[in-house]
């Protein structure tokens, strides 16, 4: 991650635009440094939280998909616990969860504050065309439609999924605190219908973030190197100023 400052970037721009021919490629800043750091710090923290959280869940693994007494999928089969060493480790799971939980929550809070303060949220929040355009993005990604709908920094499907992730992250932190200190933070558990309700919500938000993570990684792979690189360096290469080719636009939501 580079040590450039916004002023450096701005002055570099002033020099370039004067001399730049239409065909000369330039690199455009798409991910500010703070976003890059917060994104990459979040990654190991989220992994540690899911891993230690599943060690806690193991001790009372009561959730399943199904209707009534018919269970289609039970969270989780023994093979899953054994493969990832999640079984019989409740105490260690709690120790990790209640250590790294602080870092996860603080990193998320800084991220939210940054989005609000810099108005970066305007790139992420879906606008009124988002639902229709997101459908077209999905059809495009499934190779049913040729043309991608127009987009800014992120396409409509990205906006919707990134916003959903932020909402899920907020819910997972709040429900986590409700389970962690139900008396001291009372009436927080009531937001989720009580202590067990908070536990259920916390679990499903974990599943939601886990699914997002899988799709996210898949889409980054589909989008290619330039997209991945932009979250490390901050920049994407543009062929010329009239053709804003963010690598993301080739792949869809990353």
Partner 1 sequence: MSEPNDLTREQELRAQLEDSPTIPVSEFKRRSRRSFLVGAAGAGAVVVGWRWLQDSPVDDGIPQPLRNTLEFNEAVWSNLSEGRSAPEHPVSKATPIQVNGRIGIRNEIDLDDWTVRVEGPDGELLDELDLSTFEALPQRDMIIEHKCIEGWSSIVHWGGARFSDFHARYADQVGDVPYVGFETPDGLYYVGWDMPSAMHPQTMLALRQGAEPLDLDHGAPLRLATPNKYGIKCLKRIGVIRYARERPADYWAERSYDWYAGL
CB nearer to partner 1: pick between 48 and 165: 48
Q: Please give the residues from 119 up to 138 whose contact with partner 1 meets the rule CB under 8 A.
A: 122-123, 129
Q: Which own/partner pairs from 175-181 qualify as long-range (CB within 8 Å, at least 24 positions apart)?
A: 175/199, 175/201, 175/202, 175/205, 176/101, 176/202, 180/98, 180/101
CB of 29 to partner 1, least distance (A): 5
Record the tokens describing residue 128, joined without a space.
Answer: 């009124």
Decide whether 31 or 108 has the Cβ nearer to partner 1.
31
* Of 155, 138, 178, residue with least CA distance to 227: 155
- Kindly report the number of other CB atoms within 10 A of residue 17's CB atom: 10
In whole angstroms, how close is the CB of 201 to partner 1 at the nearest point? 14
What is the gyration radius of the CA atoms in the chain, in angstroms? 21
Q: How many CA atoms lie within 13 A of 205 on its CB side?
A: 23
Among 64, 65, 74, 91, binds partner 1 (CB under 8 A): 91
Whole-number Å distance between alpha carbons of 186 and 248 = 44
Interaction residues for partner 1, span 210-229 (CB under 8 A): 229
Paired with 68 in beta bridges are none
Q: Is 244 in the site for partner 1 (CB under 8 A)?
A: yes
| Shortest CB 12 distance to partner 1, Å | 4
3-class secondary structure, 238: strand
**Secondary structure of residue 20 in the 3-state scheme:** coil
Question: Which residues ranging from 20 to 79 are in contact with partner 1 (CB under 8 A)?
Answer: 20, 24-30, 40, 44, 56-57, 59-60, 62
Cα–Cα distance, 50 to 142 (Å, whole number): 30
Residue 66 Cβ vs partner 1, minimum distance, rounded to whole Å: 20
186 in contact with partner 1 (CB under 8 A): yes
Instruction: Considering the complex, state which of residue 170 and residue 244 has its C-beta at the smaller distance from partner 1.
Output: 244
Candidate list 53, 108, 126, 234; residue touching partner 1; CB under 8 A: 234
Longest dimension (CA), the chain: 71
Count residues binding partner 1 (CB under 8 A): 61
Task: Tell me which residue of 180, 172, 161 sits closest to 201, measured CA to CA.
Answer: 172
Distance of closest approach, residue 175 Cβ to partner 1, in angstroms: 14
Instruction: Give yes or no for residue 245 binding partner 1 (CB under 8 A).
Output: no
90 binds partner 1 (CB under 8 A): yes
Kindly list the residues in this chain that would bind partner 1 in the complex (CB under 8 A).
Answer: 1-4, 6, 9-10, 12-13, 16-17, 20, 24-30, 40, 44, 56-57, 59-60, 62, 90-92, 94-96, 98-99, 102, 122-123, 129, 150-153, 181-184, 186-187, 194-196, 199, 229, 232-235, 237-238, 244, 246
């Amino acid at each position: 991650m580079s040590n450039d400052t916004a002023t450096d970037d701005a002055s570099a721009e002033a020099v370039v635009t004067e001399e730049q021919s239409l065909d000369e490629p330039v690199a455009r800043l798409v991910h500010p440094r703070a976003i890059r750091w917060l994104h990459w710090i979040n990654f190991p923290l989220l992994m540690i939280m899911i891993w230690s959280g599943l060690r806690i869940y193991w001790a009372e693994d009561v959730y399943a998909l199904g209707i009534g007494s018919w269970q289609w999928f039970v969270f989780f089969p023994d093979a899953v616990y054994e493969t990832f060493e999640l079984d019989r480790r409740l105490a260690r799971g709690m120790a990790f969860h209640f250590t790294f939980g602080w870092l996860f929550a603080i990193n998320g809070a800084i991220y939210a504050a940054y989005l609000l303060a810099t108005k970066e949220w305007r790139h992420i929040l879906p606008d009124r065309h988002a639902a229709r355009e997101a459908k077209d993005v999905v059809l495009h990604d499934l190779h049913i439609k040729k043309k991608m709908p127009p987009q800014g920094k992120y396409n409509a499907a990205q906006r919707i999924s990134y916003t959903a992730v932020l909402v899920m992250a907020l819910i997972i932190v709040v429900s986590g605190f409700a389970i962690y200190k139900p008396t001291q933070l009372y009436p927080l558990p009531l937001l989720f219908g009580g202590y067990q309700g908070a536990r259920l919500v916390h679990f499903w938000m974990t599943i939601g973030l886990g699914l997002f993570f899988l799709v996210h990684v898949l889409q980054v792979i589909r989008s290619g190197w330039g997209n991945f690189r932009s979250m490390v360096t901050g920049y994407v290469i543009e062929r010329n100023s009239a053709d804003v080719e963010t690598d993301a636009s080739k792949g869809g939501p990353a």
